[in-house]
Amino acid sequence: MAARRTITGFSNPLVKFLRSLRDKKHRKREARFLAEGLRLLTDARECGVLPEILVMATGREAHPLLDTLEDAVAAAGGDVVEMDLDILAKVTGKDNPQAVAGVFAEFDTRLAGLDRAAAPIWLVAQALRDPGNLGTMLRTGDAVGAGGLILIDDCADPFSVEAVRASMGAIFTQKLAMARWDEFIAWLRSGPGQLVAASLRDPMDYRAAPYAAPCFLLVGNESQGLPEAYEAQCDLRVTIPMLGRADSLNAAVAGAVLAYEALAQLGKT
């Protein structure tokens, strides 16, 4: 079993460092983020990603997956730390925290790191403000076998505790890129790729659209939708019929509906 060290005080410098990662400013400065939960950290390990610091609650229940994770972190030169559950609650900001958390290095989020040929569909979100929606889109991307999620303009931080938690581990399985619109369009048009927008401006029914791989499915801000100028640069604009009183779907839900329809038409489901 890996060697551990135990922290017993709230004023410990490591506790202060861990707590600081709940703040975007400090995450960006350190290029590190916090993830919690044995399942999520196990998903990360199975994807070849280990935390630099593994934090565990004293008095936790034994689990073979946690033993495997602990040994892997120690073998990689990482830090293994124990602390009381009430201290861990301060770190994660939850009254009932998971019994394990980890500190990870942020990923490369440049467009240049993407291989557009790696998957038939990709999810793209513009000005997505809710970290829960962002995490759900990552989870959706994993579910539909998307290549990843591309965040356009000023979106919620994908490395926030809330977004990572909502991703249910997909933060480690999906490629992630962030760019301004002009940068994204220049990259997209430099190679093959169909851009399809969820839109209300002269759209066609999403079930009748001629999807083509690699297909980039674009959803806009939760309340404002996509800017008209952005939609004008898309190859297709599609809409999902609303049969009740609601005039739109949640952004992450809309992305999921479009993704499954595109996959069905591309013969991937």
Is the pLDDT at 145 greater than 80? The verdict is yes
Is the pLDDT at 248 greater than 70? The verdict is no
Q: 5-105 belongs to which homologous superfamily?
A: Ribosomal protein L30/S12 (3.30.1330.30)
Question: Which pLDDT tens digit goes with each residue over 29-55?
Answer: 999 999 999 999 999 999 999 999 999
Q: Are 148 and 141 in contact (CB under 8 A)?
A: yes
| Residue ranges, CATH 3.30.1330.30, the chain | 5-105
How many C-beta atoms lie closer than 10 Å to residue 238's C-beta? 22
Supply the pLDDT for residue 242: 67
| Residue ranges, CATH 3.40.1280.10, the chain | 111-265
Supply the pLDDT for residue 247: 58
Supply the pLDDT for residue 182: 97
Q: Which residue has the higher pLDDT, 200 or 266?
A: 266
Q: Radius of gyration of the chain from Cα atoms? A: 20
Region 249-259: mean pLDDT is 86
Region 67-95: mean pLDDT is 90
Measured between alpha carbons, how far is 43 from 167 in angstroms, rounded to an integer? 11
The pTM of the whole model exceeds 0.85: yes
Q: Are 95 and 48 in contact (CB under 8 A)?
A: no
Measured between alpha carbons, how far is 84 from 63 in angstroms, rounded to an integer? 18
Using 50, 70 and 90 to split pLDDT, how confident is the model at 90?
Answer: confident
Q: Give whole-number Cα distances, 237 to 56, 80, 228, in Å.
A: 48, 50, 11
Say which range, 127-136, 218-227, 244-253, has the weakest mean pLDDT: 244-253
Measured between alpha carbons, how far is 214 from 195 in angstroms, rounded to an integer? 9
Q: What's the CATH number for 111-265?
A: 3.40.1280.10
Measured between alpha carbons, how far is 100 from 103 in angstroms, rounded to an integer? 11
Is the pLDDT at 269 greater than 60? The verdict is no
Is the pLDDT at 94 greater than 70? The verdict is yes
Residues 6+ apart with CB under 8 A from 208: none
CA–centroid distance for 187 within its chain: 21
Is the pLDDT at 4 greater than 90? The verdict is no
Mean pLDDT of the chain: 91
Supply the pLDDT for residue 199: 84
Using 50, 70 and 90 to split pLDDT, how confident is the model at 59?
Answer: confident
Using 50, 70 and 90 to split pLDDT, how confident is the model at 60?
Answer: confident
